[in-house]
Structure 1
Amino acid sequence: MSSGYWFIVAAVVLIGLGGLFAAVDTAVSTVSNARVDDMVREGRGGARRLAIILDARATYVGLVVLLRVVCETAAAALIALSAAEWLGVGWGLVVAITAMTVISYVAMGVGPRTLGRQHAYTIALSMSYLLFALGILLKPVTRLLILIGNALTPGRGYRNGPFATEIELREVVDLAEARGVVAAGERRMIHSVFDLGDTSAREVMVPRPEMVWIEADKNVLQATNLATRSGHSRIPVIGENTDDVLGIVYLKDMVERTVAKRTDPTTLRVSEIMRDAEFIPDSKPLDKVLADMQLTRNHMAILVDEYGGIAGLVTIEDVLEEIVGEITDEYDTDELAPVEDLGDGSYRVSARLPVEDLGELFDVEIEEEEVETVGGLVALELGRVPLPGARVKSHGLQLVAEGGPNRKGRQRIITVLVTRVPGEGADGPDPQRHESSGGRGHSGRSGRHDRTAAREHEDESHRSTHEQTTARMNQ
């Protein structure tokens, strides 16, 4: 029997070993450390050895790759020698190259790697003893090759072994959903966790125009009424203006002082029981905001812009919603039409309707550079964040804020009921805007006067509510 036959036999053995090492390579790269730790606690055979291998996964993967390359190269050389002996050098090389291309792709490539992924834990456990022994036996060779690889490989990737980027982890999660391992909602939550660090606090904040606040000199009864009407359990306390946030008053603190300790709510000021406010830049990533809130056990933070002004506020609920998504239930209202004709000359419009569209609807000219929406117009005339029931007059129109509690229980303006004030039509004079030949004339003073009157009317409503509440408490 010629030497060519023995070369073929040896090549077949080497091809089989190469395929085995390819399967082991894939299996060791696939198995999870957490799953192997569970197997160790369960006492599975080979699990402890496999855990040791995974602690130095990069080294053992490099060893297996080395053995596979040695087998593949040796098999190619033996087949080339046999083919050259039988067919001559020319045709022998052609046949050897063709045969090894097919064999390497099928027997040492696609086939073993597929088996390695499908039976990763079975293969890794069964080969753990052999792989561990080879690691000890060939340790000098492995170290030498790793040193050469470190010298030729830039960065720290080879030193740290196989690693996954965020994109690869996202793809793994998508693949897990496609295979039914995780649910669609779980996949969205995992993606949201990745996005948390790329989202700034200003993107989820309650902007300053929508903040509900209370002055520091107000009493606890007024603050309690405001908390009840607005649906907020924590309210920022301001000093001279909205950029002067002094602290946060908690509804539970007010209830504790007035009910448990029987303190008179009309004499106790919110400044006496408010807590310190936490100020953070509005550019801070949400993952760091959440970490800070957990550390300080604070559920609300005031956001400061780059100029030092108050940009808005963010709560821990706002941050968590970026992970779990918006929660809707049977109490959430459906999307409303922007304009609803009530048939009696009045309209119910969305609070987000542009003021230009409101002016076209009633054929009046509304020029307010400070606001863009009907809800903003109500807030401008009122001088504070409007709550449901707030009533103002502007440009010959009467605007009544409508709304109710949202899914968090907070009062929000959803629509505004707009009617024309009798005797102040589109062609009649507008008592709030008197234009003169010299420009604005008294329009600015008149607008401020009307807004002051609206605030006084609102304060009178507050005082009436407080008196009624006090009377009930005294009975």
Structure 2
Amino acid sequence: MTLGLGITLGAIIGLLIVSAFFSGSETALTAASRARMHGLEEDDNKRAKLVNRLLSSRERLIGAILLGNNLANIAASALATTLFLSVFGEAGVAYATIVMTVVVVVFAEVLPKTYAIVNADRMALAVAPLIRVIVAVFAPVTRAMQLLVRQTLKLFGAEVGEDTDVLAAHEEIRGAIELHHKEGGVVKVTRDMLGGVLDLRELTVSDIMVHRTNMDALDADLPPGEIVDAALKSSHTRLPLWRGEREEIVGVLHARPLLRALRDSKGDVSKIDVMALATPPWFVPDTTNLKDQLNAFLKRKAHFAIVVDEYGEVMGVLTLEDIIEEIVGEITDETDIAAALAKPQVDGSLIVDGIVPIRDVNRLMDWDLPDEEATTIAGLVIHEAQTIPNPGQAFTFHDFRFEVLRRQRNRVTSLRVTPLGKAATVAAKEDNAAS
């Protein structure tokens, strides 16, 4: 009798060790760094290659591990119930339930998972060969389980494909960047640059273009002298040329061939044919995402494009520098206008020009103002207020207070934006009521 109890107890302990192995392996393999495993595989590490192969079929991997884990837990619980019944009688069922719950949770779940989280890469490399065998052995059962799960989900209207991935790769990267930034491993500037690269596929040229109302363009019908003077005074090296109406762009004048023509004519501007120096305008749709537009700039070896809407109407201009600034931040050189359009204040508020994009404000102040319904700060205020506010009016939304400082005709030209604490929210609501 004593020998039989000892064998049963030994079997229970063995099954708990197996359960702990499965629990730790699951956590280690799912928490292992894909980037590090890929790097090790590139260095011809066979175990890293095996880890990547297992993770490439994640559903089958998890199915096999869960199957083995549950078989071990159920078998251990059944043996424990038999053991306790033989020792304590009918009360043994209750004792077995209590004891096995504590033992399984502590020693077969929490302890191995905690170790696996701390040593994910090392443990993943260690368990990969054995897990590969287990996955192969359980393959027929896991396939049947996958089929059953998919068919069951279909009954509830959920389609799960073979290659379904809950989290897209670039979102996974974005989450990792944010996590490392919060932990202090990535500074804000680096986080913004990496985030800017990921945002290129989500933004369109209309989000960052220079709007036609702010577009620096020249009338092609002006005398050559006036065009040359205006081009030399401009802070831009490429200027659209229009004829008849400002939206009728007929060419793009570059400062370099203009200066070369001035040299060849020995300063006699009357001999310069501006339209002969201009290049044909390149029109791009306003719905093009920045990733595709960047590739188009590189392919054409161009730096400047005219943005048009679906009706062919000119919306604005876009340069290669505009896209680069979405990644590295504002680029300022000696030809740029020195006026600051966004000035942080000592009290934590921001005095900002209405035309400043919301994305630039968020990047400058590390805020999270929404930019789905509007591109600029003024546009956000007008959208939320459902009116064009007057100077002195203040509004509160998204936990910020927006005070209109200046307005020119129908344009809000200057605002003060202040983040609100809980205590200030009540006072700000009174501002909205008064407005």
Residues 126, 302 of structure 1: alpha-carbon distance in 2 compared, 3 angstrom cutoff? same
2:285 maps to which residue? 281
What aligned pairs does 1:184-263 form with structure 2 within 5 A after superposition? 184-218=188-222, 222-259=226-263
2:147 maps to which residue? 147
Which secondary structure state, in structure 2, belongs to the residue aligned with residue 243 of structure 1?
strand
2:38 maps to which residue? 37
What aligned pairs does 1:25-424 form with structure 2 within 5 A after superposition? 25-44=26-45, 46-89=47-90, 91-154=91-154, 155=158, 157=160, 159-160=162-163, 163-165=166-168, 169-218=173-222, 222-259=226-263, 265-305=269-309, 308-327=312-331, 332=338
Residues 45, 207 of structure 1: alpha-carbon distance in 2 compared, 3 angstrom cutoff? closer
Measured in 2, the distance between the counterparts of 1:75 and 1:313 equals 71
1:372-419 CA-partner distances (Å, limit 9, x unpaired): 5899xxxxxxxxxxxxxxxxxxxxxxxxxxxxxxxxxxxxxxxxxxxx
Measured in 2, the distance between the counterparts of 1:336 and 1:81 equals 75
Cα deviation for residue 129 of structure 1 reads 1.8
Measured in 1, the distance between the counterparts of 2:274 and 2:325 equals 30
Measured in 1, the distance between the counterparts of 2:115 and 2:246 equals 66
Measured in 2, the distance between the counterparts of 1:48 and 1:168 equals 21
Cα deviation for residue 236 of structure 1 reads 0.4
Residues 49, 305 of structure 1: alpha-carbon distance in 2 compared, 3 angstrom cutoff? closer
Which secondary structure state, in structure 2, belongs to the residue aligned with residue 276 of structure 1?
coil
Measured in 1, the distance between the counterparts of 2:181 and 2:342 equals 35
Cα deviation for residue 15 of structure 1 reads 1.2
Q: Which has the larger radius of gyration?
A: 1
Measured in 2, the distance between the counterparts of 1:116 and 1:245 equals 63
Which secondary structure state, in structure 1, belongs to the residue aligned with residue 86 of structure 2?
helix
Cα deviation for residue 194 of structure 1 reads 4.2
Residues 306, 38 of structure 1: alpha-carbon distance in 2 compared, 3 angstrom cutoff? closer
Contact 1:278 1:302 in 2 (8 A): yes
Cα deviation for residue 263 of structure 1 reads 9.9
Measured in 1, the distance between the counterparts of 2:253 and 2:146 equals 62
Contact 1:217 1:271 in 2 (8 A): no
Letter in 2 for 1:7: T
Which secondary structure state, in structure 2, belongs to the residue aligned with residue 159 of structure 1?
coil
1:129-188 CA-partner distances (Å, limit 9, x unpaired): 212223333332333333323333445646226542576654332222233432222222
1:394 maps to which residue? none
Cα deviation for residue 261 of structure 1 reads 9.3
Letter in 2 for 1:143: R
Cα deviation for residue 293 of structure 1 reads 2.7
Letter in 1 for 2:32: V
Cα deviation for residue 328 of structure 1 reads 6.6
Cα deviation for residue 237 of structure 1 reads 0.9
1:427 maps to which residue? none
Cα deviation for residue 72 of structure 1 reads 1.6
Contact 1:220 1:254 in 2 (8 A): no
Contact 2:265 2:271 in 1 (8 A): no
Residues 97, 202 of structure 1: alpha-carbon distance in 2 compared, 3 angstrom cutoff? same
Contact 1:50 1:124 in 2 (8 A): yes
Residues 79, 187 of structure 1: alpha-carbon distance in 2 compared, 3 angstrom cutoff? farther
Measured in 1, the distance between the counterparts of 2:38 and 2:205 equals 38
Which secondary structure state, in structure 2, belongs to the residue aligned with residue 127 of structure 1?
helix
1:49-106 CA-partner distances (Å, limit 9, x unpaired): 33433443432232222211211222222222222222233x3232222233323332
Cα deviation for residue 262 of structure 1 reads 7.6
Measured in 1, the distance between the counterparts of 2:164 and 2:412 equals 56
Contact 2:60 2:139 in 1 (8 A): no
Which secondary structure state, in structure 1, belongs to the residue aligned with residue 240 of structure 2?
strand
2:375 maps to which residue? none
Residues 210, 164 of structure 1: alpha-carbon distance in 2 compared, 3 angstrom cutoff? same
2:13 maps to which residue? 12
Cα deviation for residue 241 of structure 1 reads 0.8
2:432 maps to which residue? none
Letter in 2 for 1:133: V
Residues 185, 261 of structure 1: alpha-carbon distance in 2 compared, 3 angstrom cutoff? same
1:223-276 CA-partner distances (Å, limit 9, x unpaired): 443232111110001111112111211112323444479896432322212222
Measured in 2, the distance between the counterparts of 1:121 and 1:206 equals 48
Measured in 2, the distance between the counterparts of 1:169 and 1:81 equals 50
User: What do you get for the CA RMSD once the two structures are aligned?
Assistant: 3.7
Measured in 1, the distance between the counterparts of 2:173 and 2:354 equals 42
Measured in 2, the distance between the counterparts of 1:336 and 1:189 equals 20
- Please list every run of 5 or more consecutive structure 1 residues that lacks an aligned counterpart in the other structure: 338-349, 358-367, 376-475
Q: Greater CA deviation, 20-29 or 269-278?
A: 269-278
2:403 maps to which residue? none
Contact 1:58 1:160 in 2 (8 A): no
- Please list every run of 5 or more consecutive structure 2 residues that lacks an aligned counterpart in the other structure: 344-352, 356-387, 392-406, 415-435
Residues 297, 95 of structure 1: alpha-carbon distance in 2 compared, 3 angstrom cutoff? farther
Residues 164, 103 of structure 1: alpha-carbon distance in 2 compared, 3 angstrom cutoff? farther
The alignment of Structure 1 onto Structure 2 pairs a total of residues equal to: 350
Letter in 1 for 2:10: V
Measured in 1, the distance between the counterparts of 2:192 and 2:95 equals 52
Residues 5, 298 of structure 1: alpha-carbon distance in 2 compared, 3 angstrom cutoff? same
Cα deviation for residue 279 of structure 1 reads 2.1
Measured in 1, the distance between the counterparts of 2:283 and 2:33 equals 42
Measured in 2, the distance between the counterparts of 1:336 and 1:69 equals 59
Contact 1:224 1:251 in 2 (8 A): no
Measured in 2, the distance between the counterparts of 1:156 and 1:255 equals 63
